[in-house]
Structure 1
């Protein structure tokens, strides 16, 4: 991953179904805070058991999900979000996600997740 901050674009985030209900100003703020990461095929995205507060969205490519003891759990496709359990519950990663093809991932920290995205994961609607 690049040491410099490369933000995700509003256009990229508008393609994410989960973000469809966000007002324009919230989406703009989210884009400014989300970092883009290019992951080569076979590269790790998150590792089960690791401590991390990043929430992630797959912008392009395919990623595989694996859990120790359970094996392969599925495939993440462009537009799908993952990694919300760790920042939401403040626990270690519950699965390993590996790039099956070259991937572009956007991620944000727990503070951004809590401020802008946590309401999307509540049942209060």
Structure 2
């Protein structure tokens, strides 16, 4: 069931990524986001492919896989797809719906434009990106 504009703004406001945004910014984000229902087993992102969208998990869980191995399970409030969009490199992992999902999808261009105008959002995305890089390095070191 798709949300009305005001309900979508309220939903986005509750997501940790967007909690510092103003009402005006939240309306802008809501206008850019495409709300989607996703069935379990659906691949949102494929490792090695170019990035075209950024996803925020509203409800449900996704499995993050690298080289076929599950490296994380993320739930509501999480976001995926930012690395390829920011680095302009291929996707670093595959993301699959582990449960029925509701996601907000934002196109790559819109996402980068949004970050350029909202410094508080840049900071949150940068912190998450740094945490993910640290986790990747720890995983690589454990394999060595």
Per the shorter chain, which TM-score range? Answer: 0.7 to 0.9
Per the alignment, residue 66 of structure 1 pairs with: 65
Unaligned runs of 5+ in 2: 127-144
More helix by share: 2
C-alpha distance in structure 2 between counterparts of 1:62 and 1:115, whole Å? 27
Per the alignment, residue 136 of structure 2 pairs with: none
Which structure has more relative contact order (CA 8 Å, sep 6+)? It is: 1
Q: What are the equivalent positions in structure 2 for 1:42-57 lying under 5 Å apart?
A: 42-57=41-56
Residue 117 of structure 1, CA deviation: 2.8
Per the alignment, residue 91 of structure 2 pairs with: 93
Unaligned runs of 5+ in 1: 1-5
C-alpha distance in structure 2 between counterparts of 1:55 and 1:42, whole Å? 18
TM-score, normalised with respect to structure 1: 0.84
Per the alignment, residue 23 of structure 1 pairs with: 22
Number of residue pairs matched?
117
Show CA shifts across 1:67-120 (max 9, x none).
Answer: 016x11111100111111011111111100111111111111122212223532
Tell me the secondary structure at the aligned position of residue 121 of structure 1.
Answer: helix
TM-score, normalised with respect to structure 2: 0.74
Larger radius of gyration: 2
RMSD across aligned positions (CA): 2.0
C-alpha distance in structure 2 between counterparts of 1:82 and 1:22, whole Å? 19
Following TM superposition, the consecutive aligned residue runs of length 4 or more in structure 1 with deviations greater than 4 angstroms are none
